Amino acid sequence: MKLIELPYAIDALEPVISAQTLSFHHGKHLQTYVDNLNKLIAGTEYETMPLEQIVSKAPAGPLFNNAGQVLNHNMYFTQFSPNPATAPTGRLAAQIEKQWGSVDAFKAEFEAKGVGLFGSGWVWLQSDASGELSIAQYANADNPVAHGFKPLLTFDVWEHAYYLDYQNRRAAQLKELWKIVEWKVIESRYNP
């Protein structure tokens, strides 16, 4: 497993996410999860599995935690852009409007679930096999893949994701992140 490359410059997401935060979050935190995962899978049945399959099959413990964190961060970092399409369109937009009434109402519930998650974890927009959407809170390294859902959009609410830029103000960080969410990426995950 290799550390993913960021699809933008290290300072491209400023001021929403600073270059300093990105350099630690991607270059140190994610790198550590990748290194730990590679040590854990070496010489095992997991060594040649795709990442999503490792997450689905790993027992609770260090292997699941490190594989889950690599998957979560890979999807987190690749969903942002400095010049994003700032609203969903097409089938995804229609489904959000059907279930929440508006994109703004969806965003409000997503932020509230991120703020309300106690401790470290992730808030996700996920879909089931029929295309029905839901917002879910997952603790620590857990994620939709481990529960049979398709992962679409995620905000990282571990303190390492925002503390250098926002200190304790998790809600402020979550509100700002919408400015850099690339909805074309979220749509491509929903409509592969």
What are the backbone angles phi and psi of residue 154, rounded to the nearest 5°? Answer: -145, 145
Report CA torsion sign: 31, 32, 35, 41.
Answer: negative
Rounded least distance, CB 22 to Mn ion, Å = 11
Q: Does 123 bind Mn ion (CB under 5 A)?
A: no
Q: Could you tell me how many residues of this chain bind Mn ion (CB under 5 A)?
A: 3
Rounded least distance, CB 98 to Mn ion, Å = 31
Q: Does 141 bind Mn ion (CB under 5 A)?
A: no
> Nearer Cβ to Mn ion, position 81 or 154?
154
> Nearer Cβ to Mn ion, position 18 or 187?
18
Nearest to 110, CA basis, from 102, 69, 12, 160: 102
Which range of residues in 15-23, 86-94, 150-158, 170-178 is near Mn ion by CB under 5 A?
150-158
Radius of gyration of the chain (CA): 16
183, 87 Cβ separation under 8 angstroms: yes
Q: Which helix (H) or strand (E) holds 110?
A: helix 103-115
Strands 133-139 and 121-127: antiparallel
Rounded least distance, CB 90 to Mn ion, Å = 30
Which one among 33, 106, 124, 158 touches Mn ion, defined by CB under 5 A? Answer: 158
How far CA 9 is from CA of 18, 144, 145, 182, in Å, comes to 11, 28, 29, 15
Which range of residues in 3-11, 83-91, 118-126, 159-167 is near Mn ion by CB under 5 A?
159-167
Nearest to 184, CA basis, from 86, 69, 110, 99: 86
> Nearer Cβ to Mn ion, position 133 or 161?
161
The neighbouring-strand residues paired with 125 are 135, 153
Q: Does 161 bind Mn ion (CB under 5 A)?
A: yes
Site map (CB under 5 A) of Mn ion, residues 60-99, x = contact: ----------------------------------------
Rounded least distance, CB 156 to Mn ion, Å = 4
Which residues lie near Mn ion (CB under 5 A)?
156, 158, 161
